[in-house]
Amino acid sequence: MSIVKINVLTVPAEQREVLEKRFASRAGSVENSDGFEWFELLRPVEGTDQYLVYTRWRDEAAFQAWMEGPMKSAHQGGGDRPKPAASGSEVWSFEVVQQAAPKGA
Ligand code: HEM
């Protein structure tokens, strides 16, 4: 089954809009990576000030290949890189052990 890699971004309240705008104009290149399955930017509603960048991949090798190549250009932002909106980040790794989708979907 797939693996999940979540980049956990700590974002101060006043930087939320900046972060979301940056993702709104993201490179859009991850969609073309071999083994890429899903991406979601998750905005915290309560209990945390951490945004989750949820990504799901066919396997660890597919994620590593993206990290070593396209990920770098997808994170450059072009030209002068603005001050990061996030004050911290860490990556969480998971294996999918069960999953379900609505019937007929
Ligand atoms: C130092 C750590 C990181 C920070 C602060 C960070 C922050 C960001 C930001 C602000 C963007 C929006 C585009 C931009 O402005 O560059 C972005 C894009 C993205 N990030 Fe990260 N990121 C980091 C590492 C990672 C890691 C390890 C992953 C994988 C789990 C990840 C997954 C993604 C994805 C999938 C996109 C969209 C790329 C695309 O559209 O092709 N990021 N990241």
CB 49 within 8 A of CB 13: yes
User: Does the beta carbon of 96 lie inside 6 Å of ligand 1?
Assistant: no
Instruction: Give percent above pLDDT 70 in the chain.
Output: 94
Q: How far is CA 18 from the centre of its chain?
A: 16
Query: Closest ligand 1 atom, CA of 85?
Result: 10
Query: Domains (ranges, CATH) in the chain?
Result: 3-95 (3.30.70.100)
What are the structure tokens assigned to 14, written together? 């006043």
> Does any ligand 1 atom lie closer than 6 A to the CB of residue 11?
no
Give the DSSP H or E segment for 21.
helix 16-24
Q: Is the pLDDT of residue 61 over 90?
A: yes
Q: What's the whole-model pTM score?
A: 0.91
Structure tokens at 28: 């859009």
CA pair distance 24, 47, nearest whole angstrom: 24
